[in-house]
Homo-oligomer: A and B are copies of this chain.
Amino acid sequence: MGTKERRQREFEDREKVFLDCARDLIRDEGLLNLQMSRIAEKSEYAVGTLYKHFASKEDLLLALAAVDTEKHVSMFQRATQWKASPRDRMVAIAVADMIFVRRNPDFFRLGQYVFTEVVWKAASPERRQAMLAASDPIADVVVGIVNDAVAAGELELRDMSAEEICTGLWALSAGTHNLVHAEGVLEDFNVRDPYRLMCRHTQVMLNGYGWHPLVDVSDGAALDALIKRICNEVFDDLCSE
């Protein structure tokens, strides 16, 4: 009797339904106005059922962020598998980030919110664990590229570890997301395309680490060409503009 299994499957499917409804509501009405009762209403289940799946509202938000993170990770994995030099693959990571954020405009806001002390601590330990597990592969992927560069003789670590180099690049990316979403900052700075700028800053850092082949960071045309090449060769299906 596969009844138990069917029930199990139905339960899992329902979780997806709830998350999809929540995502739609956030898109349409904003994170600010998200209400548990509205998610229940939209998904045509009772509030109590919703709470069978998520320990709290914060728990649901964390689950939602974890789903996004999985998509994010899969883009990074495509970047690593690209047949190109380690340095170009590292830039491809930045480009992946750029494309992902453009295609998922709510991702950063949600991520920013769930990593907040208030929300993080209000979620269940299991969800927190799942969130961390979902983002784990990011580190592996990026550290892998650094190690490839070292193996290829294109980068000398000297007294830094591969992880420390990754921390710098990761901070650059995380910080760029911050600034993009911080009211007014980039407008004041007259920055038109912050993610292109992030790619350029990535090149600046890679040069700073002495990561060969060095590039001329002031050559905007070369940067645009590389970004375009990455879009075509790695993220063909995702770059429509």
Contacts and interface: CB of A to CB of B under 8 A. Distances in A.
A36 interface: no
Q: Which of A128, A191, A207, A208 has the most CB of B within 10 A?
A: A208
B178 A178 contact: yes
A113 B208 CA distance: 33
Given A32-B118, A178-B174, A204 B209 contact: yes
Given A163-B190, A220-B159, A201 B168 contact: yes
Interface residues of A, number: 59
Oligomer copy total: 2
A175 interface: yes
B139 A168 contact: no
A163 B190 CA distance: 8
A239 interface: no
Interface of A: 30-32, 109, 112-113, 115-118, 120-122, 128, 132, 139, 158-161, 163-164, 166-168, 170-176, 178-179, 181-186, 188-191, 194, 197-198, 200-201, 203-209, 217-218, 220
6 contacts: A31-B118, A115-B181, A139-B188, A160-B218, A166-B189, A173-B175
